[in-house]
Amino acid sequence: MENTFEKELSVIRKKLAAFGQEQLLPPADAAGVYGGSALREYLGVLEKIDFEQMNELYRFARETSSGGEGSISPIPVTVAAALSERKRARLFAKGEKILREGGFAAVTMAGGQGTRLGHDGPKGTYDIGVAERSLFGIQAKRLLRRAELSSCPQIPWYIMTSGENDAQTRDFFRANGYFGYSEDNVRFFTQFMLPMVDFDGLIVRDAPMHVKQGADGHGGIFRAMHRHGIVSDMRARGVKYVFIGGIDNVLVKLCDPLFIGFTADGGYGAAGKSLIKRDPREKAGVFCLRDGRPHVVEYTEITEEMAEAVDGNGDYIYGDAHILCNMFSIGMLETAGEKGLPYHVAVKKTKYIDREGILREPDAPNAYKFEAFIFDAFSQCGNMGILRVKREDEFAPVKNREGEDSPETARALYESALRRGALD
């Protein structure tokens, strides 16, 4: 049995030596101890790793500490509530026309780990205690309802999963009869994973033949859509505008004719919905321009001076929070998919196999994780529109198990929107 792996092993051994990653070599008696198929699978994983990229990312992690420099200035924002009735009706009608012509698709990003919620299963399967019984169910119902209200065909719905939750997500849809959606109109695709690297630059294993990998962040969506043929599929259907949102905002309007019309009318490559921050320290990134290009400064990177800055009316200059509700033109998705996005570094605590082959559980962060952020794509488009909406109508995130942004707060906000008839 072992001989069949000898050639493959010797290629991998050379590669690992060349990149200083020999700790990843399988144990000498791997085929005997773990079985041939486990060894084959592991070698397959090692073959797919781009070691050059990993070494580059490690160097980047050692050198960088912030999200970058650049001169920051305010970005123009359109306040939805201040639109005249005429303009609102015109934009809405424009959006509905695009919908009826099949020019729109919705994407839900559901590849996150949902660590803070701590639910056993994909976050979209979580039940906040409403009639729809899961976050996926809530989104499906809303999309179906919009199609009915706008007299348009079912809206193509794409769902991004991760290697970790893809099978469970598909099973959940099957078990729930696709929530009334036609199977042809729901398509799943997985985002890519990247190995985690320890502070010495060594790729981490969390079992003798298992590399510790993490989803490459919500910004990984562009590369994933491009590589999995999702953008071509959309083009073939005649889609021109694509909304991308998260799974964990129970008030997300995956299909909002006003927002589609706003994007089309402005000729924007990308558009984002915003809402005014509750207070300057709310944990949300804010829209702005950096060196004249659309940008989001993360709450972890914002200076006190920037967060507190007010204009002559006492309004926050950088108060428009990014809520992961964005629209892209199909052309923009192609560009971002080909170019990809830069990675950011997060420091994480993860179990690891040490040099003696023993599994260790550290008390402090011990590894780098690499993630791309969706909003880094904004700078690739010169022309971006921001539409400020009402928090109570469009934002109720499920992030934490308890307290702020928890299932309980989201349920209360959802029920209140339902009572006000704000769920169309």
With respect to ligand UTP, which residue has the nearer C-beta, 247 or 333? 247
CA distance 354 to 98: 56
Q: Does 223 bind ligand UTP (CB under 6 A)?
A: no
CB of 248 to ligand UTP, least distance (A): 5
Instruction: Enumerate residues 301-330 that contact ligand UTP by CB under 6 A.
Output: 324
The total of other beta-carbon atoms located within 10 Å of residue 243's CB is: 24
Lay out the site mask for ligand UTP across 383-412 (x = CB under 6 A, - = otherwise): ----------------x-------------
Question: Do residues 416 and 392 make contact, with C-beta atoms less than 8 angstroms apart?
Answer: yes
Q: Does 247 bind ligand UTP (CB under 6 A)?
A: yes
> Which H or E element spans position 409?
helix 407-419
CB of 375 to ligand UTP, least distance (A): 12
Q: What is the chain's Cα-based Rg?
A: 23
* Region near ligand UTP per CB under 6 A, out of 149-157, 245-253, 341-349, 357-365: 245-253
Question: Do residues 139 and 155 make contact, with C-beta atoms less than 8 angstroms apart?
Answer: no
Q: Does 215 bind ligand UTP (CB under 6 A)?
A: yes
Query: Shortest Cβ contact with ligand UTP: which residue?
Result: 112
Which tokens is 51 given?
A: 């070691």
Q: Does 231 bind ligand UTP (CB under 6 A)?
A: no
Question: Do residues 57 and 21 make contact, with C-beta atoms less than 8 angstroms apart?
Answer: no
Instruction: Enumerate residues 94-113 that contact ligand UTP by CB under 6 A.
Output: 109-113
DSSP structure string for 234-276 = HHHHT--EEEEEESSBTT--SS-HHHHHHHHHHT-SEEEEEEE
Question: Do residues 293 and 382 make contact, with C-beta atoms less than 8 angstroms apart?
Answer: yes
User: Do the strands 186-190 and 193-195 form a parallel or antiparallel pair, or are they unpaired?
Assistant: unpaired
* Region near ligand UTP per CB under 6 A, out of 53-61, 114-122, 171-179, 225-233: 114-122
CB of 369 to ligand UTP, least distance (A): 10
Please identify which residue in 217, 257, 294, 385 interacts with ligand UTP, judged by CB under 6 A.
217
Q: Does 300 bind ligand UTP (CB under 6 A)?
A: no
C-alpha atoms less than 13 angstroms from C-alpha of 314 in its C-beta half-sphere: 1
CB of 399 to ligand UTP, least distance (A): 6
CB of 205 to ligand UTP, least distance (A): 21
Residues lying near ligand UTP in the complex (CB under 6 A) are found at: 109-116, 123, 160, 191, 215, 217-218, 246-248, 324, 399
